[in-house]
């Protein structure tokens, strides 16, 4: 898109592949209401989606209001938002650029802990395929796409299929997605639409 190309030109020192991944995460998993900026309304909408899918008496919904508000407050501290309190794509890219020098954003830890809890509906400290499919549906990612993603990153060292991933693996996939420049990195497969997008735009 024109906006992505503008951002790539604005950050010539960053690998365009990383920018495309950061942009994709922004529009797919964070800008929930798709208005082009991150705002508290995105988290409020996600909370309502969780309520609709899990029920208002679920632990995931009960903890969402507190956890997502804390994540949002910390995200604001680290993204230097616009005067209106919204986080633009440029703010978002600049924050991830700082992580390339080892400065992991503090909100990230809170976000990963909450999202793992959200995925792990059974509470067994693992994310299996069914749980992965359900949560990706909250972000309008279809069943087959989610299955393909899971099959690609849930692998044993010998290449055989794993039935579930733990929190350590979940965090390593996140780190690979946001920091690796390797097209074959497992974290790249968190969402196959990212792979399709990048291959299309780079060829």
Pick out the chain residues at pLDDT < 50: 187-189, 191-203
Among residues 135, 35, 147, 42, which one has the least CA distance to residue 89?
35
pLDDT at 3: 87
Which three-class secondary structure state does DSSP give residue 98? helix
C-alpha 70/C-alpha 84 separation (Å) is 19
pLDDT at 156: 85
pLDDT at 196: 36
In the chain, % helix, strand, coil (3-state, to 5) comes to 65, 5, 30
Q: Which residues of 55-86 are buried (b: 16+ CB within 10 A; e: fewer)?
A: eeeeebbeebeebbeebbebbbebbebeeeeb
pLDDT at 186: 52
pLDDT tens by residue, 21-79: 999 999 999 999 999 999 999 999 999 999 999 999 999 999 998 999 999 999 999 88
User: How many CB atoms lie under 10 A from the CB of residue 112?
Assistant: 16
Q: Which CATH number fits domain 2-202: 1.10.10.10, 1.10.510.10, 1.10.238.10, 3.40.250.10?
A: 1.10.238.10
pTM above 0.75, yes or no: yes
pLDDT at 183: 67
């Amino acid at each position: 898109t024109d906006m992505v190309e503008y951002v790539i030109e604005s950050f010539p020192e960053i690998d365009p592949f990383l920018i495309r991944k950061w942009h994709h995460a922004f529009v797919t998993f964070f800008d929930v209401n798709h208005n082009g900026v991150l705002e508290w309304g995105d988290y409020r909408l996600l909370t309502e989606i969780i309520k609709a899918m899990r029920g208002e008496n679920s632990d995931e919904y009960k903890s969402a209001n507190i956890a997502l508000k804390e994540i949002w407050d910390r995200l604001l501290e680290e993204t230097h938002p616009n005067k209106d309190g919204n986080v633009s794509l440029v703010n978002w890219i600049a924050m991830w650029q700082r992580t390339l020098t080892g400065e992991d954003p503090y909100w990230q830890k809170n976000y990963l802990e909450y999202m793992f809890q959200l995925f792990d509906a059974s509470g067994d400290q693992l994310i299996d395929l069914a749980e992965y499919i359900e949560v990706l549906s909250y972000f309008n990612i279809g069943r087959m796409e989610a299955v393909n993603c899971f099959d690609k990153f849930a692998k044993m060292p010998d290449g055989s299929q794993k039935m579930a991933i733990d929190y350590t693996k979940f965090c390593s996939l996140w780190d690979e997605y946001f920091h690796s420049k390797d097209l074959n990195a497992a974290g790249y497969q968190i969402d196959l639409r990212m792979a399709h997008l990048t291959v299309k735009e780079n060829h």
